[in-house]
């Protein structure tokens, strides 16, 4: 569950130190949104969790219905029409589709944090959604680029064959086609490069240094 959901349910939040994480965006995004009770590297998480579960539990607070519902969906509860209506009460249906399952994504406003969640329970912050969409776009463009490169290769071969057989007019029309495909391929190559640069910038922005005190003890 998102740290914010835990917070609202009176839970203790522990976030992995982003400098220690394999994919730093997740803990870094969490740190950007809530002030967790603990920030520790992965190696210190087992002893910390062991210590925390031994501490006496505080006064139980009722869990907000929408937090509870989101947890139920995340556990893979079967989806009914009623569930879809509940999702409509939690958030707004967006035009975006889930990068994991292709389902509708609901936009869920959570204080200043906007999250996207499908009915299956895949959840993304707007930042991670943006990175996921860039990846989907990049994959789609890469497929188009591969197809165009194949078209260039084939048109070039057909042009050469036609020329060798003395069909100069057909040869030049294949050559023109090869050139047009090559131009389209170049513009897609540029788009992929721009996306890569954008993603690199976003990932650099998402890197947040852990709080000073924790870094010294960590
Ligand atoms: Zn999904």
- Total number of domains in the chain: 2
Domain annotation covers residue 80? no
Read off the pLDDT of residues 150-179 as tens digits, 9 standing for 90 and up. 999 999 999 999 999 999 999 999 999 999
Inform me whether the pLDDT recorded for 181 exceeds 90.
yes
Q: How many Å lie between the centroid of ligand 1 and the Cα of residue 68?
A: 18
Q: How many Å lie between the centroid of ligand 1 and the Cα of residue 97?
A: 8
pLDDT band at 47, cuts 50/70/90?
Answer: confident
pLDDT attached to residue 212:
44
Of 7-11, 39-43, 205-209, which has the strongest mean pLDDT?
39-43
Q: How many Å lie between the centroid of ligand 1 and the Cα of residue 105?
A: 8
Domain annotation covers residue 122? no
The tokens for 186 are 């170049």
pLDDT attached to residue 87:
86
Listed residues: CB within 5 A of ion ligand 1: 98, 100-101, 103, 118, 120, 122
End-to-end CA distance of the chain: give it in Å, rounded: 24
HSE of 126, CA atoms in CB hemisphere, 13 A: 10
Domain annotation covers residue 89? no
CA distance 167 to 78: 64
Query: Which of these three, 32, 63, 94, is where a domain ends?
Result: 63
Query: Which of these three, 63, 87, 106, is where a domain ends?
Result: 63
Read off the pLDDT of residues 51-81 as tens digits, 9 standing for 90 and up. 777 776 666 666 776 777 677 666 666 667 8
The tokens for 40 are 């520790």
Beta bridge partner(s), residue 106:
93, 117
Domain annotation covers residue 58? yes
Q: How many Å lie between the centroid of ligand 1 and the Cα of residue 71?
A: 14
pLDDT attached to residue 40:
79
Domain around 133: 129-206
Domain annotation covers residue 146? yes
Share of the chain above pLDDT 90, in %: 33
pTM for the complete prediction? 0.50
Domain annotation covers residue 152? yes
Read off the pLDDT of residues 124-158 as tens digits, 9 standing for 90 and up. 988 888 888 888 899 999 999 999 999 999 999 99
Domain annotation covers residue 85? no
Q: How many Å lie between the centroid of ligand 1 and the Cα of residue 124?
A: 10
Q: How many Å lie between the centroid of ligand 1 and the Cα of residue 116?
A: 10
Query: Which of these three, 11, 36, 63, is where a domain ends?
Result: 63
Domain annotation covers residue 88? no
178-207 burial by CB neighbour count: b if 16+ within 10 A, else e? beebeeebeebeeebeebeeeeeeeeeebe
């Amino acid at each position: 569950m998102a740290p914010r959901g835990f917070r609202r349910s009176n839970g203790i939040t522990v976030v992995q130190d982003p400098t220690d994480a394999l994919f730093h965006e997740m803990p870094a995004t969490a740190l950007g949104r809530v002030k967790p009770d603990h920030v520790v590297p992965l190696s210190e998480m087992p002893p910390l969790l062991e210590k925390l579960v031994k501490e006496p539990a505080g006064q139980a607070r009722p869990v907000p219905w929408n937090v509870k519902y989101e947890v139920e969906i995340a556990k893979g509860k079967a989806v009914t029409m009623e569930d879809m209506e509940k999702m409509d009460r939690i958030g707004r249906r967006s035009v975006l589709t889930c990068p994991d399952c292709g389902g509708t994504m609901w936009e869920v406003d959570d204080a200043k944090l906007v999250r996207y969640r499908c009915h299956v329970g895949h959840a993304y912050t707007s930042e991670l959604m943006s990175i996921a969409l860039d990846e989907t776009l990049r994959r789609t463009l890469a497929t188009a680029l591969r197809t165009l490169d194949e078209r260039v290769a084939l048109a070039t071969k057909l042009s050469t064959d036609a020329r060798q057989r003395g069909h100069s007019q057909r040869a030049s029309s294949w050559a023109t086609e090869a050139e047009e495909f090559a131009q389209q391929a170049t513009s897609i190559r540029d788009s992929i490069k721009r996306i890569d640069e954008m993603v690199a910038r976003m990932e650099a922005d998402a890197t947040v240094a852990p709080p000073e005190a924790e870094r010294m003890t960590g």
